[in-house]
Each structure stands twice: as structure tokens, then as C-alpha cells.
Amino acid sequence: MQAFDVVAALLVVLAVVAFAVGNSALARAEDIHAVYWLVVGVVSMRAAVQLARPGAA
């Protein structure tokens, strides 16, 4: 396992935390906070997948 794989796994954990915080904010009707944390989750997830996926290009 390379260091990049560890970073990818950590980014997934960050995304999960962001999704949980975002969902919790959504439940409390704090929509701005919810959108912010959900965006953080999506971007973290995207970064993790880009780091981990195979292929040269």
C-alpha cells in the first residue's frame, strides 16, 4: 500500500464525517451549513477516488 492509498482512505473518512455533519445540519434546518458540509464531502470523495483509481492517464 502506497502513501497515496492511505491519503485516499483518510479522505474517504473525512468525506464520511462531512456527510454526517452536513446531514445533521440538514436535520436541524441549518441549510447553509448543510450545503457547505455536503460540498466538502463530495469534493473529498472526488479527491479520494481520483487518487486511488487505476490507469495511467
Partner 1 sequence: MARGLLERLGDLGTAAQATIPGFYAWAVTVAPAAWSRGAPLLAKVIACMGLASLVAAIVLERRWPRYARPVSVWGLVSTSALVWALAPAALLPSRIDAARGVAGMIGWGLFALASAAPALPRDAEPARIVDGAPLRPRSKIPRGDAWFIGAGTLMAVGLQTVGWSVVVPERALLVRLVALASGLAVIGAATQIALGRHSRRVRPTRRVRARRSLPAFVGLCVVAAIGLVLFLAGR
Q: Please report, as ranges, the residues that interact with partner 1 according to CB under 8 A.
A: 1-2, 4-5, 8-9, 12-13, 15-16, 19-20, 22-24, 26-27, 29, 36, 38-57
Residue 22 cell numbers, joined: 452536513
In the complex, minimum distance from the CB of residue 24 to partner 1, in angstroms, rounded to a whole number: 5
In the complex, minimum distance from the CB of residue 31 to partner 1, in angstroms, rounded to a whole number: 10
In the complex, minimum distance from the CB of residue 41 to partner 1, in angstroms, rounded to a whole number: 7
Choose among 18, 26, 25, 20: nearest CA to 43: 18
Cα-Cα-Cα-Cα torsion 22, 39, 6, 24, nearest 10 degrees, comes to 0
